[in-house]
Amino acid sequence: MKQESSVEREDIKEPFSEMNIKAEKFDVILSNLKKIRSSLEERVAKEKSDKLEARVADEKLQASLLAELEKIRQEKSAAEQKAALFEDMYNRGKQKELYNLQAALCVATEGQMKNKEEELNSIIMELRKNYASLQEKFTKEEADKLEQRSLQNGQIRILQKQLVTAEEKLQLYEGKNVRGH
């Protein structure tokens, strides 16, 4: 039996040694796989770390961009307010310019009106002088006419008296002539 056992052992040894070789190969493969796994885990960890860093960098960039956007919005709002202020100032300037232009026009118009008023006053004074002169002339003419009428009336009265005297003389003469015949 001992022989059988030794044969059996050799039979056993052979597969065992094959198994050992296979086990060693398996251990080498397993060791290689573990190294690959470890390497892959390191890569995955590095990629996760890189992704995390990239995400953090992205978030920082996004936060920075949002802050920059907010700053730009504020600057835009400030610029719009300044533009509105400048537009308001421009409009006020235009209104002031228009007011000044209208005021200058009013002053010019007032000057023209004053000149026209002075011109009209001069014309009125000239007309008053002419009226006074005409009134004086008319009054003198009327006085002259009255005087002439008065003279004419006096002459008429004298003529009437002379007529009456002549008629009386005529009547006397006719009365003498009628008697004497």
- Which DSSP string do the residues of 8-62 spell out, in sequence order? HHHHHHHHHHHHHHHHHHHHHHHHHHHHHHHHHHHHHHHHHHHHHHHHHHHHHHH
pLDDT at position 176 over 80: no
Tell me how far apart the alpha carbons of residues 104 and 96 are, in angstroms, rounded to a whole number. Answer: 12
Q: Quick one: pLDDT at residue 53?
A: 85
pTM, 2 dp: 0.39
Joined together, the tokens standing for residue 74 give: 């504020």
Q: Quick one: pLDDT at residue 73?
A: 95
Inter-CA distances, 58 with 46, 49, 67, Å: 17, 14, 14
Neighbours of 16 (CB within 10 A): 13
Q: Rounded mean pLDDT of the chain?
A: 84
Tell me how far apart the alpha carbons of residues 137 and 149 are, in angstroms, rounded to a whole number. Answer: 17
Angle at 34 between CA 29 and CA 38, to 5 degrees: 150
Tell me how far apart the alpha carbons of residues 24 and 20 are, in angstroms, rounded to a whole number. Answer: 6
pLDDT single digits (tens) 66-123 = 999 999 999 999 999 999 998 998 898 888 888 999 999 999 999 999 999 999 999 9
Tell me how far apart the alpha carbons of residues 47 and 15 are, in angstroms, rounded to a whole number. Answer: 45
